[in-house]
Amino acid sequence: MFGSQSIFMSFILGIINFVAVCVGILLVDRVGRIPLFLVGGVFMLISQMCNAIYQNYTDPSVTVDSLFFTSLAIFSL
């Protein structure tokens, strides 16, 4: 379809990044920067820890399975 799996994953993560930036722009005026920074940092820590634990027990070359945790880390920015 797109030529390879890595290009497709990059495309999906780009869409998720775009949506996360749009949501962040809307929330920064309502909530403020510091609460978003603190909550985002906690969610990023949790998603990266879950990704590390998950890849420790599965094959790390399978990128589709870790897409969920990577998306959480991007969306928590």
Q: Tens of pLDDT along the chain (77 residues)?
A: 455 777 877 888 888 889 888 888 888 888 888 988 898 888 888 888 887 887 777 666 665 566 777 777 777 66
Query: How high is the pLDDT of residue 32?
Result: 87
Cα torsion through 32, 19, 16, 7, rounded to 10: -130
Q: What are the two backbone dihedrals, phi and then psi, of residue 59, each rounded to the nearest 5 degrees?
A: -75, 115
**Is the CB of residue 61 less than 8 Å from the CB of residue 3?**
no
- Cα end-to-end span (Å), the chain: 30
Query: How high is the pLDDT of residue 64?
Result: 57
Query: How high is the pLDDT of residue 61?
Result: 63
Give the CA diameter of the chain. Answer: 42
How does DSSP classify residue 77? Answer: -
